[in-house]
């Protein structure tokens, strides 16, 4: 048997042999979000959208009705008392076939949670002695389920008190049946307040009575708490927390170093440098909300463009910030290194494309010169700049604008050359092939368009993703390119044959960005699911017919 709950407010019991639902509990007013089974007590606890945890007693019924049973026995079963019971049961359960009933569920009562919102996770520890739950906030509520021995002790004490009270009132008064309430059987232990909203948890109770609870938080931190249940007033103490490694928020930009070894990832709070082969984080540097990034030639420094319009320069050896420049009045949406590696270009929400050069400056405090950035030229446009890219021969600059067009300019004179018009929504990403013959653009209208850079003609429009195309990059020395979409997929395409080559599935949420290594052997992608995924090119040939057959 197994039990399931759903948004339809029902809890259903299923028989795996017959693969049918044989019982439905209907005692909930809203969606049932969580369920826990207390195995020793044979009790089911359910949590829904209100602050009530409903507790149900489960009894297995051994006698399953025999189809050859005589009529006389059948008539005996339907006595008036039995009819009354069935009427009461109808409010809690709907049996498709009452004669084939396998378990009986009856509501014992409710435990009230302190949280007002819906139950997110409801679970017991492996022993079934601890029940814990949390809502959409940062508080975990812990309850203790008394064992049979503890229940008998408690019941004995309660009976003694009741007898004493009965003697005081009147000796002739008959003794009332003494029972333990549900609140006495399942007692509140304490509330644990985490540093952020809780996403899930797990707990384990040691034989000595110490409870260990581990929490996974919304900001990607894991916290561990210890709780001594034998103490008069149990208090949860933070034992440890895992914070290093991943980012606390979504990674919005990625970059590969020129030697294919280091990977840069930047999010709302930090820039991290990862070793590609060991997958270890080797540097973490605090930054503002990052939107774009690049490795400075030589791979000793990195530049990050932020949401507030700043350019931040970091030194990797010391892990320190060398310089911060106010580059744009709005967000710096895109950054591109010039092919001659002497400078770079940035595009921002202030409708400007700015050209920068690297220079060595001497600080007063130090003897050695350090790297700096110098603003050289500016190209003023009519719309916000979303993406900028250099052609490999450094003659042309492609600029994607908020008016859904891509404009191509000559770099030396900044004169207008071509306008690529055809996307229904703004172009969020683009890239130019290694030979400078084609440009591929990815848009929020879910399409990828492949254009010729000589006349600006559209070679082909491809329906690429089920949602916005967020990032696009060509593989070095080829006309193959990768796209990342909000549909959680990374896809590879052939710009010569206009074919979909393969889909890389692995992310669970929107993929914000990707980076292809300079040698084309590796690809790294970052998603809203808080993960970075590294993909490696294999040596086995890819047969398109087989890939399409697998998709079908």
pLDDT in tens, 242-293: 776 788 889 999 999 999 899 999 999 899 999 888 888 888 899 999 999 9
Q: How far apart are CA 64 and CA 22, in angstroms?
A: 13
Across 123-149, average pLDDT: 88
Q: Are residues 47 and 189 in the same domain?
A: yes
pLDDT of residue 75: 43
Across 11-19, average pLDDT: 88
Q: Are residues 43 and 186 in the same domain?
A: yes
Q: Can you give the residue range of the structural domain that contains 328? A: 244-380
The three-state DSSP-derived secondary structure of 270-282 is EEEEEECCCCCEE
Is 53 within the bounds of a domain?
A: yes
Q: Are residues 409 and 350 in the same domain?
A: no
pLDDT of residue 100: 45
Q: What is the DSSP letter of 350?
A: T
CATH code, 47: 2.130.10.10
Q: Are residues 295 and 232 in the same domain?
A: no
pLDDT of residue 461: 93
Q: Are residues 344 and 401 in the same domain?
A: no
Q: What is the pTM of this model?
A: 0.65
The answer to whether 256 and 517 are in contact (CB under 8 A) is: yes
| Tally of domains in the chain | 3
Q: Are residues 417 and 519 in the same domain?
A: yes
pLDDT in tens, 135-144: 999 999 999 8
Phi, psi of 202 (to 5 degrees): -150, 155
Is 385 within the bounds of a domain?
A: no
The answer to whether 324 and 302 are in contact (CB under 8 A) is: no
Q: How far apart are CA 431 and CA 447, in angstroms?
A: 14
pLDDT in tens, 390-446: 999 989 999 999 999 999 999 999 999 999 999 999 999 999 999 999 999 999 999
pLDDT of residue 78: 42
Of 380, 402, 431, the one marking the end of a domain is 380
Of 380, 402, 422, the one marking the end of a domain is 380
CB neighbour list of residue 252: distance below 8 Å, 6 or more residues apart? 266, 267, 268, 289, 290, 291, 512, 513, 526
Q: Are residues 366 and 347 in the same domain?
A: yes
pLDDT of residue 83: 45
Is 340 within the bounds of a domain?
A: yes
pLDDT in tens, 468-494: 999 999 999 999 999 999 999 999 999
Q: Are residues 235 and 372 in the same domain?
A: no
Is 313 within the bounds of a domain?
A: yes
Q: Are residues 362 and 436 in the same domain?
A: no
- Give the full edge-to-edge strand order of the sheet including 139-145: 121-124, 130-134, 139-145, 186-193
Q: Are residues 198 and 299 in the same domain?
A: no
Sign of the dihedral through C-alpha 529, 531, 532, 538: negative
């Amino acid at each position: 048997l197994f039990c399931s709950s759903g948004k339809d407010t029902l809890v259903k019991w299923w028989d795996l042999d017959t693969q049918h639902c044989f019982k439905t509990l209907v005692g909930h007013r809203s969606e049932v979000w969580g369920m826990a089974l207390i195995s020793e007590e044979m009790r089911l606890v359910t949590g829904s959208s209100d602050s009530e945890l409903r507790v149900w007693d489960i009894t297995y019924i051994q006698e399953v009705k025999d189809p050859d049973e005589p009529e006389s026995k059948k008539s005996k079963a339907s006595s008036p008392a039995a009819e009354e019971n069935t009427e009461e049961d109808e409010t809690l359960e709907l049996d498709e076939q009452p004669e084939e009933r396998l378990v009986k569920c009856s509501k014992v009562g409710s435990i009230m949670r302190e949280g007002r919102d819906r139950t997110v996770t409801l679970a017991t520890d492996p022993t079934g002695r601890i029940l814990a739950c949390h809502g959409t906030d940062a508080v975990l509520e812990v309850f203790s389920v008394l064992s049979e021995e503890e229940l008998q002790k408690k019941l004995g004490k309660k009976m003694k008190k009741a007898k004493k009270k009965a003697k005081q009132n009147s000796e002739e008064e008959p003794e009332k049946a003494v029972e333990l309430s549900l609140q006495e059987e399942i007692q509140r232990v304490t509330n644990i307040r985490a540093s952020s909203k809780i996403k899930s948890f797990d707990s384990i109770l040691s034989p000595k009575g110490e409870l260990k609870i581990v929490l996974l938080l919304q900001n990607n931190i894991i916290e561990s708490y210890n709780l001594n249940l034998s103490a008069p007033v149990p208090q949860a103490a933070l034992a440890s927390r895992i914070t290093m490694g991943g980012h606390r928020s979504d990674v919005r930009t990625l970059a590969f170093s020129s030697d294919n070894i280091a990977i840069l990832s930047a999010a709302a709070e930090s820039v991290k440098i990862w070793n590609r082969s060991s997958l270890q984080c080797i540097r973490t540097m605090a930054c503002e909300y990052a939107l774009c990034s690049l490795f400075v030639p030589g791979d000793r420094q990195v530049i990050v463009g932020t949401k507030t319009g700043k350019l931040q320069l970091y030194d990797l050896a010391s892990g320190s910030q060398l310089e911060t420049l106010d580059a744009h009045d709005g967000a710096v949406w895109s950054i591109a290194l010039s092919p001659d590696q002497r400078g770079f270009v940035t595009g921002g929400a202030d409708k400007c494309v700015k050209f920068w050069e690297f220079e060595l400056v001497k600080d007063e405090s130090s003897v050695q010169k350090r790297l700096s950035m110098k603003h050289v030229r500016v190209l003023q446009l009519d719309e916000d700049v979303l993406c900028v890219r250099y052609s490999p021969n450094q003659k042309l600059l492609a600029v994607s604008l908020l008016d859904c067009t891509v404009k191509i300019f000559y770099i030396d004179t900044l004169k207008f050359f071509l306008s690529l018009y055809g996307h229904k929504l703004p172009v969020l990403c683009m890239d130019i092939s290694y030979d400078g013959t084609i440009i591929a653009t990815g848009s929020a209208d879910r399409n990828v368009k492949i254009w010729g850079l000589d006349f600006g003609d559209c070679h082909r429009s491809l329906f690429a993703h089920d949602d916005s195309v967020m990032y696009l990059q060509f593989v070095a020395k080829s006309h193959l390119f990768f796209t990342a979409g909000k549909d959680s997929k990374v896809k590879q395409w052939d710009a010569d044959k206009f074919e979909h080559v393969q889909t890389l599935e692995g992310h669970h949420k929107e993929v914000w960005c990707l980076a292809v290594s300079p040698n084309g052997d590796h690809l790294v992608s970052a998603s809203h699911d808080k993960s970075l995924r590294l993909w490696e090119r294999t040596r086995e040939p890819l047969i398109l017919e087989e890939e399409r057959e697998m998709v079908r």
